[in-house]
Amino acid sequence: MEAFFFLIYVQFLSGLTRAMVLFLVASGLSLVFGTLSILNFAHGSFYMLGAFITYSLFLRLNAWGFGFWLSVLLASLSIAFIGFLLETFLIRKTYHRGHIPQLLLTYAFTLIASDIVRMRWGGQFYTLPPPPGLSKAISLIGLDFPTYNLFIIFAGLAVYGLLWWLIYRTRIGNIIRASVFDREVVNFLGVPIPWLFSFLFSLGLFLAALAGGLYAPLTTIDIGMDVSMLIEAFAVVIIGGVGNLFGTLVGSLIVGLIQSFGIILFPQHAMALIFFVMAVVLIVRPYGLMGTKS
């Protein structure tokens, strides 16, 4: 009985860890689609690039003692800058052409990113150690759990709090929510919509790269890590509701816990369970658990 309780305990906390990483990725995806109406199929690729760039920077900055944190920050900022350039010079031209050109364009980014990773890092698997001070375990209700996993959980909740504050308690958040309903009126009021969209797209990619860098010590860094993350992130957005921040958090918790316990109960069908739940949600509430009819 004690072994069974320990297994449930470990899988629950592991599911929460995965859920918070999913939230970081899916929140950027939901934010971009909910406000800019862009189907960014390259979102997972920027998560992958964030992990690879963090790894390379870590190898050079580790001698400073705080190389991991600086590597994650620099990698996330570099991906955000790349996102700013992509939105400004390429994606912006597709806003009035529908989703098909956006899908093709962002899918092209996916292919380009894969080739860049293959040329720069090859097809090898890489790993990163946990940052100093977070490599040990901590006792929770008498059972040990890795400290870094707990950090990921709290970091995800902290990002949720910051995004909530940004969207619902700041002037730029009011502008973002207003632009979802009527971009033309917001533009007539003197708000530079193009710059707002560039900021939102860059923020979405920053969150994806941040997730890749922070999750790197808990997973293998490889060329296929973008596909599974993108699939799960889309499932999160669909289950929670497009453009709904709290819904994204709820969807992340559902998908993360389903995956964690599904690996034990149905090892070969864990992903199928996620799609089953997503299908049920689409049938019962096509706009997501926390979404609203549009």
Average pLDDT of the residues in 46-70: 89
State the chain's mean pLDDT as an integer: 88
* Distances 92 to 104, 127, 209 between C-alpha atoms, Å: 14, 36, 21
- Structural domain boundaries of the chain? 13-224
Count Cβ atoms within 10 A of the Cβ of residue 74 and give its class: 0-12 exposed, 13-18 middle, 19 or more buried. middle
Average pLDDT of the residues in 183-197: 77
Nearest C-alpha neighbor of 22 from the set 281, 197, 258, 280: 258
Reported for 144-152, long-range contacts at CB under 8 A and 24+ positions apart, including other chains, are 145/9, 145/10, 145/13, 148/217, 148/218, 149/13, 149/14, 149/17, 149/218, 150/13, 152/17, 152/20, 152/21, 152/214, 152/215, 152/218
Q: Which residue has the higher pLDDT, 184 or 1?
A: 184
User: Residues 14-48: pLDDT tens digits?
Assistant: 899 999 999 999 999 988 887 787 888 999 999 99
The pTM of the whole model exceeds 0.85: yes
Report whether 248 contacts 27 (CB < 8 A).
yes
Specify the pLDDT at position 33: 85
Percent of the chain past pLDDT 70, that is, above it, reads 96
Specify the pLDDT at position 45: 95
User: Residues 191-210: pLDDT tens digits?
Assistant: 788 888 899 999 999 999 99
Average pLDDT of the residues in 41-56: 95
Q: Which residues face 126 on adjacent strands?
A: 221
CB under 8 Å to 24, separation ≥6 — which residues?
Answer: 156, 159, 207, 208, 210, 211, 214
